[in-house]
C-alpha cells in the first residue's frame, strides 16, 4: 500500500479556497488517471477535478458544501506500484507566506513584503476576512458601483456612498439614488439606531444585532444556503403548487404520547406529536399512494413509489436541511421515534450525509415549535407532497354540540398539482387527520 495525497490545487490563478460541490467517487473506488473526482466551486468558476493518479480512493476530505483551503488534502489515494516521487503534486509548504486571493484579471496580488510593489489591489480579498459578514456593499471587497460625479455629488451632500442603495443596472448608484438619499426617502443612517443587542441566525449565518450591525449586510450564497436557494427556486418554478388545510383535534394524540412517555422501551426515546404525525403521514401514503409520487420531466411520466423516504425539514446551525428516513412506512412507533431522534441529532451536529438527503419522497416540516399555527410550504424538488405541522394549541372545539377545550393542530399539505389532484390531496390529508384524531385505533389497525 502506497498512499499519496492530492492537495486542493489553485485552479484559478491566485485562489485561496474552493467549495466542494459534488463528489463523483467514493472511498474504496478504483479510479483511472484523469477520471473526474469531484466538482468544486471557486470564486471564479465551477470546475471538475480529474484524478491525478490511477489508484484506489482511501479518503475524501470534506462534504459537499465544505470550503477547503488551497493546499489542504482533498483526496488520499492508494497507488500501489506507482512512483509517487515523480508524480506527487507539490506539498503545501508550511512556512510559505499566506496567500492572497486574486479575483480579477491576471497575475497575483501584491505582496507588501516586496518593496517595489506599493499598492494593494482593490479587488483582492484576504483569506481571513470573508468568513465574517462583510459590511455594506463591499462584500466582494469592491467599492459600491457608481460614477465619479455621483460620488462627488454624494460627498458634497454629506452622504456616505456605501449607505445608498443603487437602483441602476447591476446595482449602480445613480444621481437619482443619491438625491433620494438626500431628501430622506431611503433614510441613510445618520446616527446609530437603537435596538436589541441579541444576535440571530438567518439560514445558517449569524447576524449582528440591529443596534451594532452594519447598515446593510450581505451574505454570500453558498453551502446550505445555496442548496436552499437552488432547490426552492427550482421547485417553485417547475412544480405548480396547490395546498389544502385541515384543523385536527389531536387531543388523543397528546394523551397517547403522555401515556407512553417513559414506559418500557419508550423510556429510551424522545416522543413528540411529530412522532405520531410521521406515522400518520406514512399511513396516509399507504392508503393514497398517489401522494408519494414525483414528476419525471425527462420521461414525461409520473412516478409512484411504494416506499416512503420521509423527509424532515430541520433547522440546524448551518441552515435548513431536509434529511429523510428511508423506508419510514415500515417503521412502528418506537422505531419511528428512534429514527427521528437520530435524524435530528445528526442534523444538529452538522454531519448529515448527502445520501441521507437524497431521494426524499414525502416531507414533513414542523413549524409548530416555533409558535405558529400553519405554513404553506414549498416542495423539495422531485417530491409530490409536503405537510406543514403547526403548533398544538388548546382551542375551543365543538364536540357533541358543546364547546370544549381540545388540543388542536393545523395541517397544511402543499402538493405538486401537475399529477396530484385536489381530491387525492384532500383524501390524504383527511386520512392523516383521522389518524391523529384517534391514533391508538389507527396504529392498531396499521
Partner 1 sequence: MDEVPMIQLLNPEGERVSNSEYESSLSAAEILGLYRDMAIIRRLCNEATSLQRQGQLALWAPVQGQEAAQIGAGHALLPNDFTFPSYREHGIAWKRGIPPLDWLRLFRGVTMGGWDPLQYRHSNPTIVIGNQALNAVGYAMGIQRDGADEAVMTFFGDGGSSQGDIHEACVFAGVFNAPVVFFIQNNHWAISEPTTRQSRIPLFHRASGYGFPGVRVDGNDVLAVYEVTKRALDNARSGNGPSLIEAFTYRMGAHTTSDDPTRYRLEAELETWRHRDPLERVKSYLVRTHGEPQSTFDEIAADADHMALDLREGLLSLPDPAPLSMFDHVYTEPHPLIEAGRRELIDLGFGGEQ
Residues taking part in catalysis: 417
For partner 1, the closer of residues 54 and 346 by Cβ is 54
26, 81, 93, 106: which one contacts partner 1 (CB under 8 A)? 106
446 binds partner 1 (CB under 8 A): no
Choose between 170 and 401: whose C-beta lies nearer to partner 1: 170
Q: How many CA atoms lie within 13 A of 357 on its CB side?
A: 21
Question: Of the ranges 113-121, 178-186, 250-258, 317-325, which one interacts with partner 1 (CB under 8 A)?
Answer: 113-121
Helix (H, G, I), strand (E, B) or coil at 89: coil
Closest to partner 1 by CB, 9 vs 369, is 9
Burial 341-361 (b: 16+ CB within 10 A, else e): bebbebbeeeebeeebbeebb
Closest CB to partner 1 among residues 116, 191: 116
Q: Would you count residue 200 as binding partner 1 (CB under 8 A)?
A: no
Position of cell 430541520?
314
Check binding of 12 to partner 1 (CB under 8 A). yes
Strands 385-389 and 362-366: parallel
Please, which residue, 107 or 193, has the CB nearer to partner 1?
Answer: 107
11 binds partner 1 (CB under 8 A): yes
Residue 45 touches partner 1, criterion: CB under 8 A:
yes
- Whether 100 and 67 have beta carbons less than 8 Å apart is answered as no
For residues 102 and 367, which CB has a smaller minimum distance to partner 1 in the complex?
102
Quick check: 214 binds partner 1 (CB under 8 A)? no
In angstroms, the CA 391 to CA 366 distance is 8
Cα–Cα distance measured from residue 446 to residue 442, given in angstroms and rounded to the nearest whole number: 6
Q: Which one among 1, 26, 90, 298 touches partner 1, defined by CB under 8 A?
A: 90
Backbone angles phi, psi at 330, to 5 degrees: -90, -5
CB within 8 Å of 153: residues ≥ 6 apart: 175, 178
State how far the Cα of 402 lies from the Cα of 341, in Å rounded to an integer: 38
Interface with partner 1, residue 9, by CB under 8 A: yes
Q: What distance lies between CA 72 and its chain's CA centroid?
A: 25
Residue 96's alpha-carbon distances to 71, 93, 425, in angstroms, are: 11, 5, 61
Q: Examine residue 6 and tell whether it contacts partner 1 (CB under 8 A).
A: yes
Residue among 1, 96, 114, 403 that touches partner 1 (CB under 8 A): 114
CA distance 72 to 63: 14
Among 2, 27, 30, 34, binds partner 1 (CB under 8 A): 34
Question: With binding defined as CB under 8 A, does residue 237 bind partner 1?
Answer: no
Q: Does 298 bind partner 1 (CB under 8 A)?
A: no
Q: For partner 1, which residue of 30, 50, 358, 372 counts as binding (CB under 8 A)?
A: 50
Closest approach, Cβ 15 to partner 1, in A, equals: 9
Q: CA 218 → CA 132, 136, 200, distances in Å?
A: 10, 7, 15
Our finding on whether 49 is near partner 1 (CB under 8 A) is yes
Which of 1, 26, 81, 86 is close enough to bind partner 1 by CB under 8 A?
86
Selected range binding partner 1 among 82-90, 138-146, 240-248, 301-309, rule: CB under 8 A: 82-90
User: Which one, 86 or 299, has the nearer CB to partner 1?
Assistant: 86
Query: Which single residue is written with the C-alpha cell 481571513?
Result: 128
Closest approach of partner 1 to the CB of residue 92, in Å: 10
Q: Does 80 bind partner 1 (CB under 8 A)?
A: no
C-alpha cell at 395: 382551542
Q: What is the DSSP code (8-state) at residue 280?
A: H
Among 52, 223, 323, 439, binds partner 1 (CB under 8 A): 52
What are the strands, taking DSSP E only, across 8-120?
17-23, 30-31, 36-41, 46-50, 55-60, 67-69, 73-78
CA distance 277 to 439: 9
Least gap, CB of 99 to partner 1 (angstroms) = 13
- Note the residues at the interface with partner 1 (CB under 8 A): 6-13, 34, 44-52, 86-87, 89-90, 106, 113-116
Amino acid at each position: 500500500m502506497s498512499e499519496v495525497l492530492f492537495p486542493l490545487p489553485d485552479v484559478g490563478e491566485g485562489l485561496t479556497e474552493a467549495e466542494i460541490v459534488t463528489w463523483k467517487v467514493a472511498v474504496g473506488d478504483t479510479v483511472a488517471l484523469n477520471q473526474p473526482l469531484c466538482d468544486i466551486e471557486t470564486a471564479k468558476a465551477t470546475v471538475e477535478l480529474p484524478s491525478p493518479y490511477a489508484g484506489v480512493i482511501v479518503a475524501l476530505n470534506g462534504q459537499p458544501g465544505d470550503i477547503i483551503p488551497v493546499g489542504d488534502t482533498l483526496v488520499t489515494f492508494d497507488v500501489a506500484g506507482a512512483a509517487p516521487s515523480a508524480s506527487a503534486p507539490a506539498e503545501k509548504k508550511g512556512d510559505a507566506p499566506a496567500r492572497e486571493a486574486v479575483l480579477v484579471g491576471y497575475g497575483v496580488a501584491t505582496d507588501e513584503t516586496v518593496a517595489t510593489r506599493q499598492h494593494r489591489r482593490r479587488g483582492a480579498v484576504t483569506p481571513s476576512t470573508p468568513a465574517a459578514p462583510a459590511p455594506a456593499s463591499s462584500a466582494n471587497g469592491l467599492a459600491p458601483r457608481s460614477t465619479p460625479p455621483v460620488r462627488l455629488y454624494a460627498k458634497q451632500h454629506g452622504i456616505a456612498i456605501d449607505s445608498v442603495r443603487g437602483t441602476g443596472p447591476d446595482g449602480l448608484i445613480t444621481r437619482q439614488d443619491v438625491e433620494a438619499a438626500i431628501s430622506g426617502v431611503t433614510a441613510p443612517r445618520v446616527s446609530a439606531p437603537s435596538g436589541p443587542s441579541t444576535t440571530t441566525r438567518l439560514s445558517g449565518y449569524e447576524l449582528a444585532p440591529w443596534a451594532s450591525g452594519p447598515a446593510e449586510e450581505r451574505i454570500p450564497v453558498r453551502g446550505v444556503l445555496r442548496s436552499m436557494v437552488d432547490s426552492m427556486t427550482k421547485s417553485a418554478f417547475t412544480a405548480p403548487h396547490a395546498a389544502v388545510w385541515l384543523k385536527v383535534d389531536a387531543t388523543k394524540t397528546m394523551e397517547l404520547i403522555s401515556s407512553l412517555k417513559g414506559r418500557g422501551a419508550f423510556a429510551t426515546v424522545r416522543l413528540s406529536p411529530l412522532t405520531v404525525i410521521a406515522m400518520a403521514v406514512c399511513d396516509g401514503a399507504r392508503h393514497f399512494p398517489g401522494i408519494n409520487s414525483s414528476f419525471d420531466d425527462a420521461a414525461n411520466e409520473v412516478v409512484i413509489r411504494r416506499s416512503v423516504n420521509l423527509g424532515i425539514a430541520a433547522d440546524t446551525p448551518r441552515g435548513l436541511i431536509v434529511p429523510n428516513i428511508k423506508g419510514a412506512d415500515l417503521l412502528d412507533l418506537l422505531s419511528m421515534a428512534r429514527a427521528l431522534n437520530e435524524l435530528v441529532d445528526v442534523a444538529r451536529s452538522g454531519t448529515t450525509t448527502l445520501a441521507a438527503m437524497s431521494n426524499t419522497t414525502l416531507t414533513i416540516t414542523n413549524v409548530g415549535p416555533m409558535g405558529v399555527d400553519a405554513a404553506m410550504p414549498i416542495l423539495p424538488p422531485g417530491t409530490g407532497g409536503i405537510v406543514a405541522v403547526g403548533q398544538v394549541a388548546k382551542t375551543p372545539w365543538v364536540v357533541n354540540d358543546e364547546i370544549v377545550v381540545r388540543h388542536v393542530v393545523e395541517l397544511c399539505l402543499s402538493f405538486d398539482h401537475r399529477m396530484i389532484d385536489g381530491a387525492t390531496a384532500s383524501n390524504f390529508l383527511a386520512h392523516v387527520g383521522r389518524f391523529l384524531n384517534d391514533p391508538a385505533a389507527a396504529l392498531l389497525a396499521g
